[in-house]
Amino acid sequence: MRDPAAEIRKGVRAAAPSIEGGPRLSNRARERIAGYLFVAPDAIGLLIFVGGPMILSLSLGFFSVSGFGEYAFVGLGNYRRMIADPLFWRSLEVTILYVVALVPSLYVVGLGLALLVQTNSRFNTVVRSLLFMPQTVSLVVVGLVWQVLLVDKIGLFNQFGAALNLQSISWLGDPRFALFTVIGISVWFLMGFYMLIFLGGLQDIPREYYEAARIDGAGPVQSFLKITLPLLQPTSFFVLLVSTVAAVCGSQTFDLIYIMTKGGPANSTSLAIFYIYQQAFLFNEYGYAAAMASVLVVVLMAITVLLFILTRGGRFTYG
C-alpha cells in the first residue's frame, strides 16, 4: 500500500533546489532556522520600536535638549538635578501611594467580582457585560463624566451627601481627596478587565477539587483559601505584575489626571509620569524628562525582577 506522506516528502525533496557542492542542512538545523524566522518579525519589531527608543531615551538623559534641535552633553547633570528636585520626589511619593492603593484594590475588587459572577447564567452574563462596559469608553469621556458627577456643591455625589446632611466635599479640588478620587475612578474603570482575567483563571480550576473538598467537609472559606487562591497563583501573578507596571507607568490613569486635575490641586495628583510629561512637553526639558523616565524604568525593572524572584520566574507549585 502506498504511503501518501512518504510520496509527498519524496516529491518535496525532488523539487527542492540543491546547491552544487554545498553541505545539506540537517533537519535540526533547518528547524532552528525556521524557528528564528518565525521569531524574527517580533524580534525585529521589538528591537526597532521598543529597544531602539529605550536606548535613545536613556542616552537623551545625558543631554540638555532644548526641544528645538539643540543638544548639549551634560553627563550626570540631569540625574544630579533630579536628586535636588523636591517636585520629583513629591511625584514619586504620589506614585507610591497610588500604586499601594490601586494594585491591592484592583486585585480584591477584580477577584471579588469574578467570584460573584463566575457561574454561567444569563443574569451573570449581563452583569459581566455591564461591569466590563467602562472599558469600552474612552478615558477622556470617563474623566469628563466623573468630573460632572463630582462637581463641588451641586454635583450628584454632593447632592446625595446634602440629602444626608453631609458637608459638601470637593472631590477633585481638595488635596486630601483628589488622589483617592482618581484611584476610585481608576478602580471603577479597570475592574471589569481584571474581573475577566480572574474569570479565566477560575474557569481553569477543575470542579472536581471543590466537590472533593465539599465531601471532606470543607466550607466555602476553606475552599477559597485552600483551592481557589493557590490555583489562582499564575493569574494573580499576571494581574499583580500587569497592574503594578500599569500603575507605576500611570498608563491607565494619565488621561484621567490630564482631564480632571492637571496634576493638582497643589501637585497632589502629579504622578511621576505626569511630572515627566510636564517637564518634556510643557517646559521643553526633554533631557531631564528622559532621565526621570530612565529612573522609572529602573524602578519598574526592579519590581518585575522582585516579582519573578518571589514566584521563581512565574513557575508555581501547588503542593
Partner 1 sequence: MVENANERGAARASRRAVLAGGVATAAITGFPYISRGFAAQTLKFWQFYGPGGGVATQDKWFVDVAKSWNDSHEVKVELVYVPNNAYMDGTKLPTAFASGSGPDLFIISPGDFLRYYNGGVLLDLTPFMEQAARDDFFPSVIANRMVDGKIYGLPYEVEPMAMYYSVDAFNEIGLTDKDVPKTWDELLSVAKKLTNAKRYGVLFETSPGYYQNFTWYPFLWEAGGDFQTKEGKSAFNSPATVQALKFWQDSINMAVAPRKPLGGGAWDSVPNIGSGYCAMQNVGIWAIAQLREGAPDFKYGVFRLPTPPGGKYLTIGGGWAFVANARGLNPKAAGEFCAWALGSPKDGSSQRIIDWCTKAKSDMPPTKSALEGGKAAFENGFLKVFTDEIYPGARAEPRMPPPVYKAISDAIQSVQLNGQSPEQAAAAASDQIDAFLSGYKGAPIL
Alpha helices in 204-285 (DSSP H): 207-215, 220-223, 229-231, 233-249, 254-260, 272-277
CA atoms within 13 A on the CB side of 13: 9
Residue position matching grid coordinates 474557569: 203
* Beta carbon of residue 79, minimum distance to partner 1 (angstroms, whole number): 18
* Beta carbon of residue 153, minimum distance to partner 1 (angstroms, whole number): 7
Measure CA 129 to chain center: 21
String marking each residue 144-163 x if it binds partner 1 according to CB under 8 A: ---x---xxxx-------x-
Mutual orientation of helices 156-163 and 139-149 as an angle, nearest 10°? Answer: 30
90 or 132: CB nearest partner 1 = 90
* Beta carbon of residue 268, minimum distance to partner 1 (angstroms, whole number): 7
Report the site for partner 1 in 73-102 (rule: CB under 8 A). Answer: 87
* Beta carbon of residue 260, minimum distance to partner 1 (angstroms, whole number): 9
173, 184, 230, 234: which one contacts partner 1 (CB under 8 A)?
173
Q: Is 63 helix (H, G, I), strand (E, B) or coil?
A: strand
* Beta carbon of residue 12, minimum distance to partner 1 (angstroms, whole number): 22
**Cis omega (within 30 of 0) on the bond before 230?**
no
Using alpha carbons, select from 315, 106, 105, 117 the residue that is nearest to residue 199: 117
170 or 244: CB nearest partner 1 = 170
Told to check if 255 binds partner 1 by CB under 8 A, we report: no
Question: Which residues lie below 8 Å from residue 257, measured CB to CB, with a gap of 6+?
Answer: 182, 250, 263, 269, 270, 271, 274
Question: Which residues lie below 8 Å from residue 193, measured CB to CB, with a gap of 6+?
Answer: 110, 132, 135
Choices 125-133, 235-243, 257-265, 306-314; region in contact with partner 1 by CB under 8 A: 257-265
Alpha helices in the chain (DSSP H): 4-15, 27-46, 52-60, 77-83, 86-116, 122-132, 139-149, 156-163, 178-203, 207-215, 220-223, 229-231, 233-249, 254-260, 272-277, 286-310
69, 217, 313, 319: which one contacts partner 1 (CB under 8 A)?
69
5, 68, 138, 208: which one contacts partner 1 (CB under 8 A)?
68
* Beta carbon of residue 291, minimum distance to partner 1 (angstroms, whole number): 16
Using alpha carbons, select from 88, 95, 130, 137 the residue that is nearest to residue 259: 137
* Beta carbon of residue 85, minimum distance to partner 1 (angstroms, whole number): 10
Told to check if 172 binds partner 1 by CB under 8 A, we report: yes
232 or 257: CB nearest partner 1 = 257
Size of the site for partner 1 (CB under 8 A): 33
Q: Is 278 helix (H, G, I), strand (E, B) or coil?
A: helix
- Contact 296/273 with Cβ under 8 angstroms? yes
Told to check if 203 binds partner 1 by CB under 8 A, we report: no
String marking each residue 259-298 x if it binds partner 1 according to CB under 8 A: --xxxxxxxx--------x--xxxxxxx------------
Told to check if 38 binds partner 1 by CB under 8 A, we report: no
89 or 283: CB nearest partner 1 = 283
**Which parts of this chain interact with partner 1 (CB under 8 A)?**
66-70, 87, 147, 151-154, 162, 170, 172-175, 261-268, 277, 280-286
